[in-house]
Amino acid sequence: MEAAVEIAAREIGAGAPLIPIYSHRYIPSAPSEAGNPILSVYQTDVIYYGSDLEDYFVNEFFDKENRFNRSGGRVVKPRRNVPFWGELYELNS
């Protein structure tokens, strides 16, 4: 049991701290640059909720179908995979 607790503590410490945005939505603090994804984190359930802060606000508070680029299609931004949190997302997918 001690070994399991030690491994779990080490792995949890490997993830960048999360900055709360709203409810159980968070943005990883690293890398410290624009474009970090917004994650919905509830216990071990991790979901990408937006590819960045702008995308999150559209997903959370606005009708996604009304967000169009000039060519008439939905704007799709690439999603940055962040260490640790992205791995939890992949485990849940």
Evaluate the CA torsion angle 21, 93, 63, 73 in order and state its sign.
Answer: positive
The per-residue pLDDT for 10 is 86
Average confidence (pLDDT) over 21-43: 91
Mapped onto helix, strand or coil, the DSSP state of residue 68 is strand
pLDDT tens column, 40-60: 999 878 888 889 998 888 778
Q: Which helix (H) or strand (E) holds 38?
A: strand 38-42
Top-confidence residue, 50 or 72: 50
Model confidence at 78, pLDDT cuts 50, 70, 90, reads confident
Residue type, 86: G
